[in-house]
Amino acid sequence: MILFEFCRVLILLFLFFAIFYYPINNLYHLIGIETDHYLLLVTLALLLIIFVIYSNKFQFTGFYTKGSKKLPNKITWAILSIAFLLLVIPIIIHFL
């Protein structure tokens, strides 16, 4: 069961990363920012967002749900705030 859950997590990770990266990449190119220079920041931000989505929603629908707990609201908002800042930093650097 744990192996199935691990495969499910990897599939969700790749799926969500592809879904979220494409619009962000297009937005950066529309503004004129090359994403190659800020790939690490964007990747880290997306991983944080995907972690919050998985921890608060998808971990309860998998094969292995023992001991599953939602993240507290303060932690959720802190992680999402950090992710938002990581996504905004390339825009701020580009215009300064």
Give mean pLDDT, residues 68-91.
Answer: 93
Give mean pLDDT, residues 69-80.
Answer: 93
Please give the pLDDT value at position 36: 84
Give the residue numbers spanning the domain of 88: 2-95
Closest by CA to 60, choosing from 48, 69, 51, is: 69
- Which has more confidence, 22 or 63? 22
Asked whether residue 61 carries a pLDDT value surpassing 80, the answer given is no
The total number of structural domains that make up the chain: 1
Distance (Å, whole) CA 31 – CA 93: 12
pTM for the structure as a whole: 0.86
Pair 71, 56: CB distance under 8 Å: yes
